[in-house]
Amino acid sequence: MQKFANPVVFLKLANAVLPWVWVLTALLFAIGLYGALVSTPPDAVQGEAMRIMYIHVPAAWMGLFVYVLMAGFSAVALVYRHPLADAAAKTAAPLGAMFCFLALATGSIWGKPMWGTWWVWDARLTSMFVLMLLYMGYVAVWNAIDDPHLAAKIARIIALVGVINIPIVKFSVDWWNTLHQPASVFTMKGSKIDPSMLWALLVMALAYTFLFLALHLVSMRSEIAARKLRQLRSNEIGAR
């Protein structure tokens, strides 16, 4: 198994794919933003504020998706002792945290014209907030432990416990929210998504996915270089 985890093979592949991924990302963003800001009509109920959806919803999707991906890498690392999988999980976390933060921030900005307040303890925003805390804990583990091998082992456990926790949090926050249902909360059901809006949303979601892919590949390349560097330096010290 260790032979398939060869970073050289990965680097070759990543370097070959990266330019195409960047081009595709730029293209998708161009089309998606055109759709989101120009071609789609303003919503009947919400007006222009609806356009925030095209960046809020993809960010929220990515926030969740990246965590599941990270947990998947951690599980692979746990089972196959695949060093590349640890690097993949480690580098995915800051990106996921950023998507989470953007989902929360744009949700808050969207909330102001819709709810009349910057923050509502609505079920989805609350679970997103907890998800961001999970990301922050995961990143903090990598930062707190100096030995990279130990940090990798502990981080795997944290990621896997976190992914078990996500559905439980989701369920309990929904329960809690119906218990304290505020009087006038805007729901997505109120304004059904029109097909003319849907295509722009999907293109934006794809654009976010490819942006993540590009940044993740670069970040992994950087992590592999950093590891090699550390190894070379410690060899040098050992040789003296």
Partner 1 sequence: MDWAAHNAGYVLAAYGLSCVGLVAIALFIILQDRKNAKALRQQKD
Partner 2 sequence: MWQSCKALLWRDVQLAQRQGGGLGAALAFILAVLVLVPISVGPDLALLQRLAPGLMWLSLLLAVLLTADRMFQQDFEDGSLDLMTMAALPFELVVLTKFLGHWLTVSLPLALIAPPLGLMLNLDVASLPILWLSMFAGSLALSLLAGLGGAVTVGLRRGGLLVSLLIMPLYVPVLIFGVSATTMMMGPQSPVPSLLILVAITLVSLVVAPLASAAALRAYLQ
Q: Which of 15, 17, 20, 48 binds partner 1 (CB under 8 A)?
A: 48
The minimum distance between CB 218 and partner 2, in angstroms, equals 28
Residues 66, 208: contact at Cβ < 8 Å?
no
**215 contact choice in partner 2, partner 1, none (CB below 5 to 8 Å, kind-dependent):** partner 1
Q: What is the Cα–Cα distance from 179 to 99, expressed in whole angstroms?
A: 29
Stretch that binds partner 2, among 67-75, 114-122, 151-159, 232-240 (CB under 8 A): 151-159
Q: What is the Cα–Cα distance from 111 to 105, expressed in whole angstroms?
A: 10
Q: How many residues bind partner 1 (CB under 8 A)?
A: 33
* Structure tokens belonging to residue 15: 């370097």
Point out which residues pair with 47 in neighbouring strands.
43
235 interacts with partner 2 by CB under 8 A: no
Q: Which of 27, 176, 228, 232 binds partner 2 (CB under 8 A)?
A: 176
Q: What is the Cα–Cα distance from 193 to 102, expressed in whole angstroms?
A: 22
Question: What is the sign of the dihedral through the CA atoms of 88, 57, 158 and 76?
Answer: negative
Q: Which of 17, 157, 188, 193 binds partner 2 (CB under 8 A)?
A: 157
112 interacts with partner 1 by CB under 8 A: yes
For the chain, helix, strand, coil in percent to 5 are: 85, 0, 15
In the complex, the residues that contact partner 1 under the rule CB under 8 A are 37, 42, 47-49, 51-52, 55-56, 59, 94-95, 98, 101-102, 105-106, 109-110, 112-113, 211, 215, 218-219, 221-222, 225-226, 228-229, 232-233
